[in-house]
Amino acid sequence: MNRKAKILIADDSEINRAMLSDILAPDYEVLEAADGEAAVACMEQQHTEIALVILDIVMPKLDGFEVLAIMNRKGWINSIPVIIVSSETSPSYIDHAYQLGASEYINRPFYKVAIRHRIENTVKLHTKQKHLENIVAEQILEKEKSNMVMVDILSHIVEFRNGESGLHVLHIRTITEVLLKQLRSTCSQYDLTPARTALITNASSLHDIGKISIPEEILNKPGKLTKEEFEIIKTHSAIGAQMLEGLTHYQNEELVQVAREICRWHHERYDGGGYPDGLKGDEIPVSAQVVAIADVYDALTSKRVYKPACSHEQAMEMILNGECGVFNPLLLECLKEVGDYLENEVKIRSAGKITRDSIHTLAYDAIHSYNVSDRTLDLLEQERTKYQFYASMTKEIQFEYSYESDTLIISEWGAAQAGVKESIQHPLSDATLLAIFSKEDFCDLRERLQSATPQNPIVSQIYRLTVHGKPRWYKWIARPIWGLDEDAPPTKAIGKLVDNEEEQSTLEKLTLQAQHDDLTALLSRNHAHEEIEERLVNLKENKAALLVLDLDTFKSVNDSYGHSYGDKMLRAFAEKLRKRVRNTDIVARIGGDEFLVYMEYRENIEKLVERIFSTVSGNYDGFEVSVSIGAALAPENGVTYEELFLCADQALYASKHAGKNQWKFYDESMKDMLSSDLRNPLNEKKRRTPNET
C-alpha cells in the first residue's frame, strides 16, 4: 500500500482549512497550522516528508511572506513547493510571492475541481523533478565514490608493498582532515573552504605513491638504513610527483595538482631542513605542510618493521619539541588544540567507512537542496520507530532545539512523560514548560551550548524539574549541531534528559552525613568552620560571638557509668543546646565533650551567653553536669574563624583555670595563659588548635 503524500495547510481561518482538507483528504495526508509560527514548527519537524505547502498570506504571528522567507533561509523552498491561496489580488502581493519562490498563486474564491488538479499537478511535477535530481545526485555520488575507491586502491597497493599496517592511508586522511578543520577555524590565511578541505584530504592518500619504485628489500628492511639506502628512500617524493606529472590528460584536474604538491613536498620542513627541494616556510604548500605532520604522527604511533609504536603522548611531545623536524608554528598550535580529539578519531575510524562529514560534503557538492527518495523515507521511518522504542525503554526524554525558529521539539514519549506539547514555539515564553523547567536553568543550558565547540561539543549539567507537580533531578546531556561550515553558529541542539533522582538523593544524603556529627546530629566541626567563615565574610552591621563549651565532669561520667551512658548524656546535652539557640545560630560538636556555638547579635551578648550557660548546666538523668564556656567577639577579638576560635579557646581555659562552671569573654590578660600552661610538662591535658580533630 502506497503511503499518502503529506500536504501542509497553513491558514488562520478554520473554515478555510476545513474546506481544503475535505478536498484533499481522500488522496493526501493533511497537516494543519493555524498561524505562520505553527507552520514553521511543523516544517521544522517534518520538512523531509511534506510534499506541498498551501499558504495563506494574512496570518497572525508570521504572515505568508515571512514563512516563505524562512523557507528560503533554511533551503526548504528548494524541496517543498508552495501554493499561495489568498483573497489578496494586488499585483504587488502576487509578484512578491513568486519572487520568494511560490510555485502557484490561487485567488479565492476558487473552483473545487480546478484547485484539486492544480495541487495534483504541482505535486506530480515536483516529484518528477526530485526523481531526476536524485538520479543525477546518485550518478555524481557514484563517480565521487569511484574516484575515492581508485585512490584508495592505488594507495593501498603502495601500503601493502611497504609492509605497513594497512591503516596508514586511513590514518593520514583522518589526521589531515582534523588538522585542516582546526586550521580553518583558527585563521583565514589559507582559504580552506569545506570543498578544498575535502580535496586535500582525498589527495593525501597518494602521498607515498613514489614508494612503488623503491626496492622492497630497502622499504621493508627491519634494521637501520645505510646512508646510501636512505638516499634511495628519499627519492620517492620526487618520483611520486613525476608519476602524477605523467598523467598528461589530467594535468588540469585539481585533485592531481594537489596530490602532486603533497607527493613532492610532504618531507619538506618549515626551516628548510627537508627534501627534495629545501623549501622554507610558506614556500611549502599548506597541503604538504599538513600531510607532513600527519605522516610523522602516524609513523610514530604505528608499529613498523624497524620499531615499536609510541604512545599518543610520546608522539605529541616529540613533534612539539622539534625532535621530528621544524613545522609551521600555527599548525603545531592546531595539533595541540585537537590532540585528545585526534587520538580518539584515529582509533574509532575504520577502513571502508566514509565519515559523516564526507557524506555531507559530497551531498552538498552534488545537489544544493535536500532531496530524499522513497527508500530513504522508509529508512527514516524505521529509524523513527527505533528511536521511539528505545526512548520509552530507557526512560529518557530526547529533545531538539532550533535556534533560527526558536522551536523546541520533544520526543513523543518525553512529551507525554513531562506533560507538555511535542513542539513548543518560543520555549522561554511557554508557561507550561517554565512550570517544569525554570527560565534560569533554560538560559544556563543555552549558554553552555553556545560555549561548546566542534572539538568539545558535549555539555552536561544536572537540573531540577517539576514533573507532574513533583520535583525530580534530571541529568541533561546535549550538543549543538553545525552545518557544513563549522565556523558559522550552530543551527540546532540535540540532547536527552536522564532521570537522576536516585543518584542525586544518595549524594545529598552522603553530603548531609558528612556535614553532621554521627552521635548528636549537630553540625560537624569542618562544616561549621566553612559556614562560619562564610558568615564572617558577609558580616556587616551585626556583631558576632563564637562560644566554645566544655563539660567539666564528663570524664568521670565515662569512668563511672561507661561510654554508652556517656553517649546518651552527650545526645541529651546537644538536644538541650539546640533548643536554646536561635534558628540562625550555628551549633556544632567539635570534640569528645566539646561544643561550639556561633551567633550574630546587635547588643546584650552577655544575656545571650548567660541564657545558654544557665540552660545547659544542670541535672542529666541524676548526674550533675557543669559547663565551662569561653567566648570571643567579632570584630573586637578577630574577623576570621581561626582568630575567634583561638581567643574563645583561651577564654575557655581561663574559665577552667578559675574553677570551672562559669563563662568568660576573652581579654588580653588571657593571651599567654594557655601557651605558658602548654609549656608546663606537668600539664597532661593540652588544648587543641582550630584545625585539629
Q: With CA atoms as reference, report the closest residue to 49 among 380, 364, 359.
A: 380
Q: With CA atoms as reference, report the closest residue to 69 among 50, 88, 86, 82.
A: 82
Dist. CA 627–CA 613, nearest whole Å? 7
Beta strand 104-107 with 396-402: parallel, antiparallel or unpaired?
unpaired
Give the dihedral sign, CA 269/272/277/283: positive
The sheet carrying 627-634 orders its strands as: 586-589, 594-601, 543-551, 627-634, 663-665
Specify the DSSP class assigned to residue 541: S
Dist. CA 459–CA 448, nearest whole Å? 7
**Is residue 453 within a helix (H) or strand (E), and if so which, with residue range?**
none
DSSP string computed for 279-314? --GGGS-HHHHHHHHHHHHHHHHS-BTTBPPPPHHH
Query: What residue type is 205 in one-letter code?
Result: S
Query: What residue type is 671 in one-letter code?
Result: K
Q: With CA atoms as reference, report the closest residue to 68 among 43, 92, 101, 35.
A: 101
Residues 6+ away with beta carbon under 8 Å from 370: 48, 75, 78, 79
Q: With CA atoms as reference, report the closest residue to 644 among 617, 629, 666.
A: 666
DSSP string computed for 326-340? ---HHHHHHHHHTHH
Dist. CA 656–CA 603, nearest whole Å? 26
Q: With CA atoms as reference, report the closest residue to 31 among 1, 4, 55, 10.
A: 10
**Is residue 513 within a helix (H) or strand (E), and if so which, with residue range?**
helix 501-515
- Per the CB < 8 A criterion, the answer to whether 406 and 425 are in contact is yes
Dist. CA 645–CA 358, nearest whole Å? 66
Q: State whether residue 146 is helix, strand or coil.
A: helix
Cell 494586488 belongs to residue: 90
Query: What residue type is 11 in one-letter code?
Result: D
The packing angle between helices 64-74 and 91-99, to 10°, is 20
Is 271 a residue of the active site? no
- Per the CB < 8 A criterion, the answer to whether 449 and 492 are in contact is no
- Per the CB < 8 A criterion, the answer to whether 545 and 632 are in contact is yes
Residues 6+ away with beta carbon under 8 Å from 455: 182, 337, 338, 341
- Per the CB < 8 A criterion, the answer to whether 115 and 54 are in contact is no
Q: With CA atoms as reference, report the closest residue to 10 among 69, 49, 46, 60.
A: 60
- Per the CB < 8 A criterion, the answer to whether 191 and 346 are in contact is no
Q: What angle do CA 262, 263, 265 make, to 5 degrees?
A: 65
How far from the centroid of its chain's Cα atoms is residue 602's Cα? Answer: 49
Determine which one of 95, 593, 621, 667 is catalytic: 593
Dist. CA 371–CA 367, nearest whole Å? 8
How far from the centroid of its chain's Cα atoms is residue 18's Cα? Answer: 45
Q: State whether residue 495 is helix, strand or coil.
A: strand
Phi-psi region at 406: left, alpha or beta (left = phi > 0; alpha = psi -120 to 50): left
Specify the DSSP class assigned to residue 226: P
Where do the H-state alpha helices sit in 62-111?
64-74, 91-99
Q: Which residues are catalytic?
A: 593
